[in-house]
Structure 1
Amino acid sequence: MISDALSDALARWLDHERALAGAAENTLKAYQADLLGFLSFMTQYNGEAQGLGPIAKIGIRDMRAWMANERGRGVSARSLARSLSAVKSFYRWLAAREDFEPTAVLSTRAPKFQAKLPRPLAPDAAAAMIETVELQAPEPWVAARDSAVVTLLYGCGLRISEALGLTGADVPLPEVLRITGKGGKERIVPVIDAARAAVDAYLRLCPYPAQADKPLFRGVRSGALSPRAIQKVMQQTRMQLGLPATATPHAMRHSFATHLLAAGGDLRAIQELLGHASLSTTQAYTAVDAARLMEVYDKAHPKAAGP
């Protein structure tokens, strides 16, 4: 399907993304799948195996044919835009090394799609989630554990993987945590008093002593707590509280950011707290806040509400 030289170039590009861009392994796997799918189509479409020579000649017509084929297969606009981004990134890197003109590929426009906005909880719903989640557990230490995890998600804006990645070496929790997030990006996260208190309460009740080389949050059989356990307990809690299906562990992180922004938090500071590589990712929260304001406006403004 592709020549050895092109296969080697793809491997080197992935190594480059891993080492210099800090891409996570799951991201690299997605990039690889996107590129192999693209090259497979070009092999069939042009009737020849793809190598460094043939792919340098790919033009606008080829790109349009690939995108039409993807949409015809039922690939969503969002997924196609992601695949195109991977293709462009690879071409940009390869063209600089092989000295060919990549304009036809780089100028290809991504399909338009409606960006999904984060679905945060209202402040009172977030508080109710933390207060109610511990009621689902049959044992006091498990209840304290679940409450501590959810408090960290909302109080510190952690991803669930980051909260469950804490070890005994991280306790007692300091005033700030050094968190390594997606792509190995490190950030400093302040720890609120409520989060420290929740973790302390869990540690007092946990039957497994904290060990520096062991996960802080343990399952009932002493192993590492799985994300699925927290997802399940939050599912039970949201059903009890009558909250929507979007009230997930990740929604607590969204709520952290949205509530900070609504309280006047600086967008750049929130970007740092969340560990977003790009400010554009964090800017989604301004759209959330604007959407909420427009909803209030439509309901309350005399001219908008009508007679």
Structure 2
Amino acid sequence: MSLALSPGTRDLMAGWLTDLGSLRAASQATTDAYARDLTDFLTFQAQHLGGIPGPAALRGLTASDLRAWMAAQRGRGVGSRSLARRLSAVKSFYRWWADRDGFDATPILSMRAPKHGRRLPRPLSVEGARDMIDTIASQDARDWVSARDTAIVTLLYGCGLRRSEALALDARILPLGEVLRIRGKGGKDREVPVLPAAREAVARYAALCPHDLAPGTPVFRGIRGGPLNGRLVAKVMEQARMQLGLPATATPHALRHSFATHLLNAGGDLRAIQELLGHASLSTTQAYTAVDTARLLEVYAAAHPRA
């Protein structure tokens, strides 16, 4: 159903979306999704209130109006995670609007999102991770691009790096030593050991790269020499997983999950893995590791021996 917005509401929505895309640096995909979510919300309120709501009516919405919309979403089969995202879009609009025009949006902003279980990551098997790296190594006919892509996925799996962390590496780290200092989320630094395979992969890429890898510039470059776009890393892995028949969950981040899971399965200490991943909470690390109950009991028994 298309929605005819009042001129005032249309202007508000346009201003909010512009702010999202510029000042807040939201991606186009995020901006488009938020626009759809808010439009859906306004469509419901038009039906709920019996007419196209203008700014005055929208300012007067109550928690009851919001709950009615959420109930209707549930009735359409919208899951908890999707509903939480849609509520986030509505709150973002109202927060922006309230800050701009100085009204009280508490009835909207105080609404709690539905609870949903944490979606557990799906790591690759040891063989799957190896096959992924081997397949990527032979994907591109340009030797330096093939070496670049191989070096990145080897760092993701061999060091447990986030994709953004690998792409943020400065060329001053070259040649790689046995330990790599990483600036992670929240500006928190951590040190991770670098396996020989990772050092060799990065060294091969650096030797073949046609661009000047001077200190102060990114290690990993695009074809024209600029910083490598993270979407290209995802595309490379997508092509490889299609060749290998792996599921859609075989993403760059799955290699980080695999790093943690395989370490724990091999007898690694959960606390040590937490440090390597740069997690503030041990519970986050536990969610990154896919191990069976028997293995978890072994880890628990080793850490807490019976008297």
What residue identity is the alignment partner of 2:292? L
Specify the alignment match of 2:271 in structure 1: 266
- Give the conservation status (yes or no) of the 8 Å contact 2:123–2:257: yes
Specify the alignment match of 1:202 in structure 2: 205
Specify the alignment match of 1:143 in structure 2: 146
**Structure 2 counterpart SS, 1:25:** coil
TM-score (norm 1): 0.65
Describe how 1:48-59 pairs up with structure 2 within 5 A.
49-51=53-55, 54-59=57-62
Specify the alignment match of 1:122 in structure 2: 125
Q: Which whole-Å CA distance do the structure 2 matches of 1:101 and 1:139 have between them? A: 56
Q: Could you tell which deviates more after superposition, 261-270 or 208-217?
A: 261-270
1:68–1:237 distance in 2 versus 1, CA, 3 Å: same
What residue identity is the alignment partner of 2:255? M
Specify the alignment match of 2:303 in structure 1: none
Q: Which whole-Å CA distance do the structure 1 matches of 2:270 and 2:25 have between them? A: 29
What residue identity is the alignment partner of 1:293? D
Q: Which whole-Å CA distance do the structure 2 matches of 1:191 and 1:108 have between them? A: 38
**1:83 and 2:83 matched:** no
**Structure 1 counterpart SS, 2:120:** coil
**Structure 1 counterpart SS, 2:121:** coil
- Give the conservation status (yes or no) of the 8 Å contact 1:133–1:237: yes
Q: Deviations over 1:244-290 (max 9, x none)?
A: 4432222112223434555223399459626x8xx5xx84653564x
What residue identity is the alignment partner of 1:265? L
Q: Which whole-Å CA distance do the structure 2 matches of 1:100 and 1:79 have between them? A: 26
What residue identity is the alignment partner of 2:278? L
**Structure 2 counterpart SS, 1:190:** strand
Gapped regions of structure 2 (runs ≥ 5)? 297-307
Backbone CA RMSD of aligned residues: 4.7
Q: Which whole-Å CA distance do the structure 2 matches of 1:101 and 1:235 have between them? A: 43
- Give the conservation status (yes or no) of the 8 Å contact 2:158–2:194: no
- Give the conservation status (yes or no) of the 8 Å contact 1:63–1:108: no
- Give the conservation status (yes or no) of the 8 Å contact 1:156–1:189: no
TM-score (norm 2): 0.65
1:143–1:7 distance in 2 versus 1, CA, 3 Å: closer
Q: Which whole-Å CA distance do the structure 2 matches of 1:108 and 1:217 have between them? A: 42
Gapped regions of structure 1 (runs ≥ 5)? 298-307
Q: Which whole-Å CA distance do the structure 2 matches of 1:284 and 1:84 have between them? A: 25
**1:154 and 2:160 matched:** no
Q: Deviations over 1:192-235 (max 9, x none)?
A: 32334421221122233314565432345655545455445434
What residue identity is the alignment partner of 2:210? P
Specify the alignment match of 1:106 in structure 2: 110
Match of 1:256 among 242, 251, 259: 259
- Give the conservation status (yes or no) of the 8 Å contact 2:121–2:257: yes
**1:62 and 2:65 matched:** yes
What residue identity is the alignment partner of 1:106? S
User: Percent of pairs identical after alignment?
Assistant: 42
What residue identity is the alignment partner of 1:49? P
